[in-house]
Amino acid sequence: MGKKVGIIVGVLVLLLAAAGGIYYYMTNTPKNKYLLSEKQSMETWGSYFDERFKNEVALQDEMVNESYRGSVKLSAEVSDSLLSSLGVPASMVESTNLVFNAGHDEKNQQSELSFVPTFAGTEIDKFEWTADKDAQYIAAPLFNDKLMVKNADMKKVYERIAGEPAPEDFDPSMLNLNELMASNMTQEEAEEMQYRYLKVVMDSLEDEQFEKGKETTDVFGKKEELNTVTMTLEDADIKRVLKNVGAELKKDEKIKKMFGSSITSVTTKSYEESIDDLLKDIDDEKFGKIVAKNFLDGKTIVKRDINWTGADGKEDNNMLFTMTEKVDDDVQVVAELKSSDQAVEGFRLEGTSKGKGTVKDDYTVTSITEGEEFAINMKNDEKLDGNKRTNNIDFTITDQTGETYNAKYEGTLDSDVKNNKQTSKGTISFDVDGEPIKINIDTTTNVKEKLNVKADGAVDLNTLSDAELQELQDSIETNMEMLFSQFGA
Protein backbone atom coordinates (compact mmCIF):
# COMPACT_ATOMS: atom_id res chain seq x y z
CA MET A 1 0.00 0.00 0.00
CA GLY A 2 1.25 3.44 -0.84
CA LYS A 3 2.51 5.48 2.08
CA LYS A 4 0.02 8.25 1.41
CA VAL A 5 -2.99 5.98 1.46
CA GLY A 6 -1.52 4.38 4.54
CA ILE A 7 -2.00 7.68 6.36
CA ILE A 8 -5.74 7.60 5.75
CA VAL A 9 -5.92 3.90 6.67
CA GLY A 10 -4.26 4.81 9.96
CA VAL A 11 -6.78 7.59 10.54
CA LEU A 12 -9.63 5.17 9.82
CA VAL A 13 -8.31 2.55 12.23
CA LEU A 14 -7.98 5.15 14.98
CA LEU A 15 -11.48 6.46 14.39
CA LEU A 16 -13.01 2.99 14.43
CA ALA A 17 -11.06 2.03 17.54
CA ALA A 18 -12.10 5.28 19.25
CA ALA A 19 -15.79 4.67 18.65
CA GLY A 20 -17.23 6.89 21.35
CA GLY A 21 -20.46 8.82 21.80
CA ILE A 22 -22.59 6.68 19.52
CA TYR A 23 -25.84 7.75 21.09
CA TYR A 24 -27.73 8.33 17.88
CA TYR A 25 -27.95 4.56 17.25
CA MET A 26 -30.37 3.27 19.89
CA THR A 27 -31.65 0.07 18.31
CA ASN A 28 -30.09 -3.25 19.29
CA THR A 29 -28.68 -4.04 15.84
CA PRO A 30 -25.37 -5.87 15.29
CA LYS A 31 -23.99 -2.60 13.93
CA ASN A 32 -24.97 -0.76 17.09
CA LYS A 33 -23.68 -3.55 19.34
CA TYR A 34 -20.28 -3.57 17.63
CA LEU A 35 -19.74 0.15 17.97
CA LEU A 36 -21.15 0.41 21.49
CA SER A 37 -18.76 -2.34 22.60
CA GLU A 38 -15.88 -0.32 21.15
CA LYS A 39 -17.18 2.75 22.97
CA GLN A 40 -17.19 0.94 26.30
CA SER A 41 -13.72 -0.50 25.68
CA MET A 42 -12.26 2.93 24.98
CA GLU A 43 -13.98 4.41 28.03
CA THR A 44 -12.62 1.60 30.21
CA TRP A 45 -9.04 2.11 28.99
CA GLY A 46 -9.46 5.89 29.29
CA SER A 47 -10.74 5.63 32.86
CA TYR A 48 -7.82 3.41 33.85
CA PHE A 49 -5.19 5.85 32.60
CA ASP A 50 -7.07 8.93 33.86
CA GLU A 51 -7.25 7.40 37.33
CA ARG A 52 -3.68 6.11 37.39
CA PHE A 53 -2.16 9.34 36.05
CA LYS A 54 -4.69 11.81 37.44
CA ASN A 55 -2.30 14.67 38.24
CA GLU A 56 -0.32 14.31 35.03
CA VAL A 57 -3.52 14.37 32.96
CA ALA A 58 -4.76 17.44 34.82
CA LEU A 59 -1.57 19.37 34.04
CA GLN A 60 -1.67 18.31 30.39
CA ASP A 61 -5.24 19.61 30.14
CA GLU A 62 -4.09 22.93 31.62
CA MET A 63 -1.34 23.22 29.00
CA VAL A 64 -3.89 23.18 26.17
CA ASN A 65 -5.17 26.68 26.91
CA GLU A 66 -2.59 28.11 29.31
CA SER A 67 0.93 29.33 28.66
CA TYR A 68 3.77 27.07 29.77
CA ARG A 69 7.54 26.80 29.79
CA GLY A 70 9.54 23.64 30.29
CA SER A 71 13.19 22.64 30.42
CA VAL A 72 15.14 19.38 30.16
CA LYS A 73 18.70 19.13 31.46
CA LEU A 74 20.92 16.24 30.39
CA SER A 75 24.23 15.32 31.99
CA ALA A 76 26.35 12.19 32.27
CA GLU A 77 28.40 10.19 34.75
CA VAL A 78 31.12 7.90 33.39
CA SER A 79 33.51 5.64 35.27
CA ASP A 80 37.06 6.94 35.76
CA SER A 81 38.58 3.85 34.14
CA LEU A 82 36.53 4.30 30.96
CA LEU A 83 37.34 8.01 30.78
CA SER A 84 41.01 7.25 31.31
CA SER A 85 40.99 4.76 28.46
CA LEU A 86 39.44 7.42 26.23
CA GLY A 87 41.85 10.11 27.40
CA VAL A 88 39.02 12.34 28.66
CA PRO A 89 39.38 14.17 32.01
CA ALA A 90 36.61 13.32 34.50
CA SER A 91 36.22 17.02 35.34
CA MET A 92 35.29 17.74 31.73
CA VAL A 93 32.39 15.27 31.73
CA GLU A 94 31.22 16.35 35.19
CA SER A 95 31.01 19.99 34.07
CA THR A 96 29.29 19.36 30.72
CA ASN A 97 25.51 19.41 30.21
CA LEU A 98 22.82 20.27 27.71
CA VAL A 99 19.65 22.20 28.49
CA PHE A 100 16.62 22.27 26.18
CA ASN A 101 13.85 24.81 26.74
CA ALA A 102 10.41 25.00 25.17
CA GLY A 103 7.46 27.27 25.81
CA HIS A 104 4.24 28.39 24.19
CA ASP A 105 1.48 30.89 24.86
CA GLU A 106 -1.42 30.30 22.51
CA LYS A 107 -3.45 33.32 23.60
CA ASN A 108 -0.64 35.84 23.20
CA GLN A 109 1.00 34.02 20.27
CA GLN A 110 4.47 33.65 21.76
CA SER A 111 6.76 30.63 21.52
CA GLU A 112 10.29 29.62 22.44
CA LEU A 113 12.70 26.83 21.58
CA SER A 114 16.26 27.00 22.83
CA PHE A 115 19.32 24.85 23.34
CA VAL A 116 22.02 25.83 25.86
CA PRO A 117 25.20 23.72 25.91
CA THR A 118 27.74 23.93 28.72
CA PHE A 119 31.05 22.34 27.75
CA ALA A 120 33.80 21.73 30.31
CA GLY A 121 32.28 24.33 32.62
CA THR A 122 31.92 27.01 29.94
CA GLU A 123 28.39 27.95 28.94
CA ILE A 124 28.19 28.55 25.21
CA ASP A 125 25.76 31.18 23.99
CA LYS A 126 22.36 29.61 23.48
CA PHE A 127 20.78 28.71 20.20
CA GLU A 128 17.32 30.25 20.38
CA TRP A 129 14.26 30.46 18.13
CA THR A 130 11.42 32.60 19.43
CA ALA A 131 8.29 34.06 17.91
CA ASP A 132 5.57 36.57 18.63
CA LYS A 133 2.45 37.32 16.62
CA ASP A 134 4.38 39.38 14.08
CA ALA A 135 7.79 37.79 13.53
CA GLN A 136 10.34 35.02 14.06
CA TYR A 137 13.62 35.66 15.94
CA ILE A 138 16.86 33.70 15.84
CA ALA A 139 19.79 34.12 18.24
CA ALA A 140 22.94 31.98 18.15
CA PRO A 141 26.69 32.20 18.69
CA LEU A 142 27.02 32.06 14.90
CA PHE A 143 26.17 35.77 14.57
CA ASN A 144 26.47 38.88 16.72
CA ASP A 145 22.93 40.25 16.54
CA LYS A 146 19.55 38.68 17.02
CA LEU A 147 17.98 38.19 13.59
CA MET A 148 14.33 38.82 12.74
CA VAL A 149 12.03 37.79 9.91
CA LYS A 150 8.57 39.29 9.87
CA ASN A 151 5.86 36.74 9.16
CA ALA A 152 4.65 38.82 6.25
CA ASP A 153 8.17 38.82 4.71
CA MET A 154 8.99 35.10 4.98
CA LYS A 155 8.64 34.40 1.29
CA LYS A 156 10.79 37.39 0.32
CA VAL A 157 13.54 36.48 2.78
CA TYR A 158 13.46 32.84 1.70
CA GLU A 159 13.98 33.86 -1.93
CA ARG A 160 16.81 36.25 -1.08
CA ILE A 161 18.70 33.65 0.97
CA ALA A 162 18.00 30.75 -1.41
CA GLY A 163 18.78 32.86 -4.48
CA GLU A 164 15.79 31.42 -6.34
CA PRO A 165 12.01 31.79 -6.41
CA ALA A 166 10.07 30.12 -3.61
CA PRO A 167 8.05 27.03 -4.57
CA GLU A 168 4.64 27.86 -6.00
CA ASP A 169 2.90 26.52 -2.91
CA PHE A 170 5.36 27.94 -0.36
CA ASP A 171 3.63 27.88 3.03
CA PRO A 172 4.98 30.35 5.64
CA SER A 173 3.32 28.34 8.44
CA MET A 174 6.04 25.68 8.11
CA LEU A 175 8.52 28.33 9.36
CA ASN A 176 6.25 29.87 12.01
CA LEU A 177 7.08 28.59 15.49
CA ASN A 178 3.66 29.54 16.83
CA GLU A 179 2.04 27.34 14.19
CA LEU A 180 4.44 24.48 14.86
CA MET A 181 3.76 24.61 18.60
CA ALA A 182 0.01 25.22 18.34
CA SER A 183 -1.88 23.79 21.29
CA ASN A 184 -3.62 20.45 21.18
CA MET A 185 -7.38 20.18 21.29
CA THR A 186 -9.40 20.75 24.42
CA GLN A 187 -11.38 17.78 25.66
CA GLU A 188 -14.58 19.35 24.35
CA GLU A 189 -13.07 19.90 20.90
CA ALA A 190 -11.69 16.35 20.81
CA GLU A 191 -15.11 14.89 21.63
CA GLU A 192 -16.79 17.04 18.99
CA MET A 193 -14.28 15.90 16.39
CA GLN A 194 -14.68 12.28 17.47
CA TYR A 195 -18.46 12.39 17.08
CA ARG A 196 -18.24 14.15 13.73
CA TYR A 197 -15.79 11.67 12.18
CA LEU A 198 -17.60 8.75 13.73
CA LYS A 199 -20.81 9.87 12.02
CA VAL A 200 -18.91 10.02 8.69
CA VAL A 201 -17.72 6.43 9.22
CA MET A 202 -21.15 5.23 10.37
CA ASP A 203 -22.92 6.81 7.41
CA SER A 204 -20.51 4.94 5.13
CA LEU A 205 -21.45 1.50 6.50
CA GLU A 206 -24.55 -0.64 6.05
CA ASP A 207 -26.38 -2.73 8.67
CA GLU A 208 -25.76 -5.82 6.52
CA GLN A 209 -22.02 -5.51 7.15
CA PHE A 210 -22.50 -6.54 10.82
CA GLU A 211 -23.52 -9.93 12.18
CA LYS A 212 -24.16 -11.41 15.64
CA GLY A 213 -23.05 -14.90 16.72
CA LYS A 214 -21.69 -17.09 19.51
CA GLU A 215 -18.36 -18.93 19.64
CA THR A 216 -16.00 -20.74 22.01
CA THR A 217 -12.57 -19.13 22.15
CA ASP A 218 -9.41 -19.04 24.28
CA VAL A 219 -9.27 -16.22 26.85
CA PHE A 220 -5.98 -16.16 28.79
CA GLY A 221 -5.67 -19.94 28.56
CA LYS A 222 -9.32 -20.77 29.35
CA LYS A 223 -12.01 -21.82 26.89
CA GLU A 224 -15.07 -19.56 27.09
CA GLU A 225 -18.31 -19.42 25.09
CA LEU A 226 -18.95 -15.77 24.23
CA ASN A 227 -21.29 -13.69 22.13
CA THR A 228 -19.66 -12.24 19.03
CA VAL A 229 -20.36 -9.39 16.65
CA THR A 230 -18.52 -9.26 13.33
CA MET A 231 -17.91 -6.40 10.88
CA THR A 232 -17.03 -7.24 7.27
CA LEU A 233 -15.48 -4.68 4.90
CA GLU A 234 -14.94 -5.54 1.26
CA ASP A 235 -12.54 -3.57 -0.92
CA ALA A 236 -15.29 -1.22 -2.14
CA ASP A 237 -16.47 -0.61 1.45
CA ILE A 238 -12.99 0.34 2.60
CA LYS A 239 -12.56 2.73 -0.31
CA ARG A 240 -15.94 4.35 0.35
CA VAL A 241 -15.14 4.96 4.01
CA LEU A 242 -11.65 6.30 3.21
CA LYS A 243 -13.00 8.72 0.63
CA ASN A 244 -15.65 10.05 2.99
CA VAL A 245 -13.16 10.47 5.82
CA GLY A 246 -10.70 12.16 3.45
CA ALA A 247 -13.35 14.58 2.22
CA GLU A 248 -14.11 15.55 5.81
CA LEU A 249 -10.40 15.95 6.60
CA LYS A 250 -9.99 18.31 3.67
CA LYS A 251 -12.41 20.86 5.11
CA ASP A 252 -11.40 20.39 8.75
CA GLU A 253 -9.72 23.65 9.79
CA LYS A 254 -8.73 22.33 13.23
CA ILE A 255 -6.90 19.32 11.76
CA LYS A 256 -5.31 21.59 9.17
CA LYS A 257 -4.00 23.89 11.91
CA MET A 258 -2.59 20.95 13.88
CA PHE A 259 -0.98 19.03 11.02
CA GLY A 260 -0.90 21.35 8.01
CA SER A 261 2.56 22.72 8.77
CA SER A 262 3.90 19.17 9.22
CA ILE A 263 2.58 18.16 5.80
CA THR A 264 3.92 21.23 4.02
CA SER A 265 7.34 20.70 5.60
CA VAL A 266 7.78 17.50 3.55
CA THR A 267 6.01 18.51 0.35
CA THR A 268 5.58 21.66 -1.72
CA LYS A 269 1.84 21.09 -1.92
CA SER A 270 -0.77 22.64 0.31
CA TYR A 271 -2.74 20.70 2.92
CA GLU A 272 -5.81 20.56 0.65
CA GLU A 273 -3.79 19.43 -2.36
CA SER A 274 -2.12 16.70 -0.29
CA ILE A 275 -5.55 15.39 0.75
CA ASP A 276 -6.68 15.50 -2.89
CA ASP A 277 -3.69 13.34 -3.84
CA LEU A 278 -4.60 10.85 -1.13
CA LEU A 279 -8.18 10.67 -2.40
CA LYS A 280 -7.02 10.11 -5.98
CA ASP A 281 -4.70 7.28 -4.91
CA ILE A 282 -7.49 5.37 -3.18
CA ASP A 283 -9.03 4.08 -6.43
CA ASP A 284 -5.64 2.73 -7.58
CA GLU A 285 -5.09 0.74 -4.40
CA LYS A 286 -6.28 -2.79 -3.62
CA PHE A 287 -7.28 -3.06 0.00
CA GLY A 288 -8.56 -6.62 0.03
CA LYS A 289 -11.06 -7.63 2.71
CA ILE A 290 -11.20 -6.97 6.46
CA VAL A 291 -13.23 -9.11 8.87
CA ALA A 292 -13.19 -7.75 12.44
CA LYS A 293 -14.77 -9.84 15.20
CA ASN A 294 -15.34 -8.78 18.81
CA PHE A 295 -15.90 -11.41 21.55
CA LEU A 296 -18.14 -9.98 24.26
CA ASP A 297 -18.75 -10.67 27.92
CA GLY A 298 -21.98 -8.72 28.27
CA LYS A 299 -21.07 -5.38 26.69
CA THR A 300 -17.36 -5.72 27.39
CA ILE A 301 -14.86 -6.72 24.70
CA VAL A 302 -12.55 -9.45 26.02
CA LYS A 303 -11.02 -10.44 22.68
CA ARG A 304 -10.68 -9.13 19.11
CA ASP A 305 -9.82 -10.96 15.90
CA ILE A 306 -9.07 -8.84 12.82
CA ASN A 307 -8.35 -10.78 9.63
CA TRP A 308 -7.14 -8.80 6.62
CA THR A 309 -6.92 -10.85 3.45
CA GLY A 310 -5.18 -9.34 0.44
CA ALA A 311 -3.39 -6.96 2.77
CA ASP A 312 -1.11 -4.32 1.27
CA GLY A 313 -2.48 -5.03 -2.20
CA LYS A 314 -1.03 -8.57 -2.25
CA GLU A 315 -3.65 -11.28 -2.86
CA ASP A 316 -1.58 -13.97 -1.11
CA ASN A 317 -0.84 -11.82 1.94
CA ASN A 318 -3.05 -12.42 4.97
CA MET A 319 -2.63 -10.51 8.21
CA LEU A 320 -4.24 -11.60 11.46
CA PHE A 321 -4.33 -9.41 14.55
CA THR A 322 -5.66 -10.79 17.82
CA MET A 323 -5.93 -9.03 21.17
CA THR A 324 -7.24 -10.36 24.47
CA GLU A 325 -7.73 -7.74 27.18
CA LYS A 326 -8.99 -7.33 30.72
CA VAL A 327 -9.10 -3.87 32.28
CA ASP A 328 -10.40 -3.02 35.77
CA ASP A 329 -8.18 -2.08 38.70
CA ASP A 330 -5.54 -4.25 37.02
CA VAL A 331 -4.65 -4.77 33.35
CA GLN A 332 -3.91 -7.97 31.46
CA VAL A 333 -3.30 -8.00 27.72
CA VAL A 334 -2.02 -10.33 25.02
CA ALA A 335 -1.78 -9.01 21.44
CA GLU A 336 -0.33 -10.76 18.41
CA LEU A 337 0.19 -9.86 14.76
CA LYS A 338 0.93 -12.55 12.19
CA SER A 339 1.39 -12.26 8.46
CA SER A 340 2.11 -14.46 5.49
CA ASP A 341 4.26 -11.61 4.17
CA GLN A 342 7.86 -12.18 5.28
CA ALA A 343 8.15 -8.48 6.14
CA VAL A 344 5.94 -9.03 9.21
CA GLU A 345 6.03 -12.69 10.13
CA GLY A 346 5.25 -12.37 13.80
CA PHE A 347 4.92 -9.87 16.64
CA ARG A 348 3.60 -10.35 20.16
CA LEU A 349 2.90 -8.12 23.18
CA GLU A 350 2.06 -9.72 26.52
CA GLY A 351 1.90 -8.28 30.00
CA THR A 352 0.16 -7.13 33.13
CA SER A 353 -0.22 -4.08 35.37
CA LYS A 354 -1.18 -4.96 38.94
CA GLY A 355 -2.06 -2.76 41.88
CA LYS A 356 -3.38 0.71 42.60
CA GLY A 357 -1.10 3.43 43.95
CA THR A 358 1.65 0.85 44.16
CA VAL A 359 1.75 -0.70 40.69
CA LYS A 360 3.87 -3.43 39.17
CA ASP A 361 4.09 -3.48 35.35
CA ASP A 362 5.58 -6.42 33.46
CA TYR A 363 5.43 -6.36 29.63
CA THR A 364 7.32 -8.21 26.91
CA VAL A 365 7.43 -7.41 23.19
CA THR A 366 8.64 -10.27 21.00
CA SER A 367 9.47 -10.44 17.30
CA ILE A 368 9.77 -13.86 15.66
CA THR A 369 10.48 -12.64 12.13
CA GLU A 370 13.18 -14.90 10.71
CA GLY A 371 16.58 -13.31 11.06
CA GLU A 372 15.20 -10.46 13.17
CA GLU A 373 14.21 -12.24 16.37
CA PHE A 374 14.39 -10.16 19.53
CA ALA A 375 12.56 -9.62 22.80
CA ILE A 376 12.24 -6.52 24.97
CA ASN A 377 11.06 -6.90 28.54
CA MET A 378 10.07 -4.00 30.78
CA LYS A 379 9.46 -4.36 34.51
CA ASN A 380 8.32 -1.29 36.44
CA ASP A 381 7.92 -0.92 40.19
CA GLU A 382 5.85 2.24 40.70
CA LYS A 383 4.77 3.97 43.89
CA LEU A 384 2.53 7.02 44.23
CA ASP A 385 2.75 9.18 47.35
CA GLY A 386 0.56 12.27 47.05
CA ASN A 387 1.88 14.25 44.07
CA LYS A 388 5.10 12.24 43.81
CA ARG A 389 5.42 9.20 41.54
CA THR A 390 8.53 7.00 41.88
CA ASN A 391 9.50 4.57 39.13
CA ASN A 392 12.14 1.86 39.04
CA ILE A 393 12.15 0.40 35.53
CA ASP A 394 14.33 -2.44 34.28
CA PHE A 395 14.75 -3.03 30.54
CA THR A 396 16.16 -6.27 29.13
CA ILE A 397 16.77 -6.71 25.40
CA THR A 398 17.51 -10.20 24.08
CA ASP A 399 18.77 -10.45 20.49
CA GLN A 400 18.57 -13.38 18.06
CA THR A 401 21.81 -14.86 19.39
CA GLY A 402 20.51 -14.93 22.96
CA GLU A 403 22.77 -12.12 24.13
CA THR A 404 21.12 -9.70 26.56
CA TYR A 405 21.49 -5.96 27.08
CA ASN A 406 20.26 -4.29 30.26
CA ALA A 407 19.34 -0.74 31.22
CA LYS A 408 17.65 0.75 34.25
CA TYR A 409 15.66 3.93 34.85
CA GLU A 410 15.19 5.31 38.36
CA GLY A 411 13.28 8.51 38.82
CA THR A 412 10.69 10.61 40.58
CA LEU A 413 7.98 12.77 39.03
CA ASP A 414 6.26 15.44 41.12
CA SER A 415 3.04 16.76 39.52
CA ASP A 416 1.85 19.69 41.66
CA VAL A 417 -1.50 20.63 40.13
CA LYS A 418 -2.26 23.23 42.80
CA ASN A 419 0.89 25.21 41.98
CA ASN A 420 0.85 24.45 38.22
CA LYS A 421 4.26 22.83 38.27
CA GLN A 422 5.82 19.50 37.35
CA THR A 423 9.39 18.45 38.12
CA SER A 424 11.27 15.22 37.64
CA LYS A 425 14.68 13.74 38.38
CA GLY A 426 15.76 10.53 36.72
CA THR A 427 18.77 8.44 35.82
CA ILE A 428 19.28 5.93 33.00
CA SER A 429 22.10 3.53 33.77
CA PHE A 430 23.78 0.90 31.59
CA ASP A 431 27.18 -0.70 30.99
CA VAL A 432 29.61 -0.34 28.09
CA ASP A 433 32.19 -3.13 28.08
CA GLY A 434 31.51 -3.66 31.76
CA GLU A 435 31.96 0.01 32.64
CA PRO A 436 28.94 1.84 34.15
CA ILE A 437 27.46 4.92 32.50
CA LYS A 438 24.65 7.10 33.80
CA ILE A 439 22.58 9.67 31.95
CA ASN A 440 20.87 12.16 34.28
CA ILE A 441 17.61 13.75 33.17
CA ASP A 442 16.13 16.65 35.14
CA THR A 443 12.95 18.36 33.94
CA THR A 444 10.82 21.29 35.04
CA THR A 445 7.52 22.48 33.56
CA ASN A 446 5.68 25.56 34.77
CA VAL A 447 2.11 26.03 33.57
CA LYS A 448 0.76 29.60 33.43
CA GLU A 449 4.31 30.95 33.21
CA LYS A 450 4.33 33.94 30.90
CA LEU A 451 6.82 34.07 28.07
CA ASN A 452 8.75 37.25 27.41
CA VAL A 453 9.73 37.27 23.74
CA LYS A 454 11.70 40.43 23.00
CA ALA A 455 12.44 42.04 19.67
CA ASP A 456 14.90 44.55 21.17
CA GLY A 457 17.82 45.15 18.84
CA ALA A 458 16.78 42.45 16.38
CA VAL A 459 18.06 42.96 12.82
CA ASP A 460 15.33 42.66 10.20
CA LEU A 461 16.78 40.44 7.46
CA ASN A 462 14.50 41.93 4.82
CA THR A 463 15.93 45.42 5.38
CA LEU A 464 19.53 44.34 4.71
CA SER A 465 21.10 45.16 1.39
CA ASP A 466 22.33 42.29 -0.79
CA ALA A 467 25.90 43.07 0.25
CA GLU A 468 24.98 43.10 3.95
CA LEU A 469 23.08 39.83 3.59
CA GLN A 470 26.07 38.21 1.88
CA GLU A 471 28.38 39.54 4.60
CA LEU A 472 26.13 37.99 7.24
CA GLN A 473 26.14 34.63 5.48
CA ASP A 474 29.93 34.70 5.21
CA SER A 475 30.32 35.51 8.92
CA ILE A 476 27.99 32.63 9.86
CA GLU A 477 30.16 30.21 7.88
CA THR A 478 33.30 31.54 9.58
CA ASN A 479 31.76 31.32 13.06
CA MET A 480 30.57 27.78 12.38
CA GLU A 481 34.11 26.72 11.53
CA MET A 482 35.42 28.38 14.70
CA LEU A 483 32.70 26.77 16.84
CA PHE A 484 33.39 23.27 15.49
CA SER A 485 37.12 23.76 15.92
CA GLN A 486 36.54 24.65 19.58
CA PHE A 487 34.53 21.48 20.13
CA GLY A 488 37.18 19.50 18.30
CA ALA A 489 39.87 20.88 20.56
Sign of the Cα torsion 270, 276, 282, 285 reads negative
Mean pLDDT of 225-247: 93
Lowest mean pLDDT among 34-48, 105-119, 239-253, 255-269: 255-269
Q: How confident is the model at residue 214, as a pLDDT? A: 96
pLDDT band at 27 (very low <50, low <70, confident <90, very high): very low
Q: How confident is the model at residue 26, as a pLDDT? A: 42
pLDDT above 80 for 145? yes
* Beta bridge partners of residue 352, listed in sequence order: 332, 362
pLDDT above 50 for 3? no
pLDDT band at 197 (very low <50, low <70, confident <90, very high): confident
pLDDT band at 16 (very low <50, low <70, confident <90, very high): very low
pLDDT above 70 for 147? yes
Instruction: Quote the mean pLDDT of the chain.
Output: 85
pLDDT band at 270 (very low <50, low <70, confident <90, very high): confident
Lowest mean pLDDT among 124-128, 254-258, 265-269, 464-468: 265-269
Q: How confident is the model at residue 234, as a pLDDT? A: 93
> Which tens digits make up the pLDDT trace of 398-426?
998 889 999 999 999 999 999 999 999 99
Q: How confident is the model at residue 487, as a pLDDT? A: 56
pLDDT above 80 for 185? no
* Percentage of the chain modeled with pLDDT above 90: 50
Lowest mean pLDDT among 330-339, 370-379, 417-426: 370-379
Residue 88 vs residue 385, higher pLDDT: 385
> Which tens digits make up the pLDDT trace of 474-483?
888 887 877 6
Mean pLDDT of 425-443: 94
Q: How confident is the model at residue 363, as a pLDDT? A: 98
pLDDT above 50 for 21? no
> Which tens digits make up the pLDDT trace of 43-100?
888 889 989 999 998 898 888 889 999 999 999 999 988 888 888 888 888 999 999 9
- Could you state, in order of their start, the residue ranges of all structural domains in the chain? 3-128+190-234+268-456
pLDDT band at 101 (very low <50, low <70, confident <90, very high): very high
Mean pLDDT of 312-341: 84
pLDDT band at 11 (very low <50, low <70, confident <90, very high): very low
pLDDT band at 291 (very low <50, low <70, confident <90, very high): very high
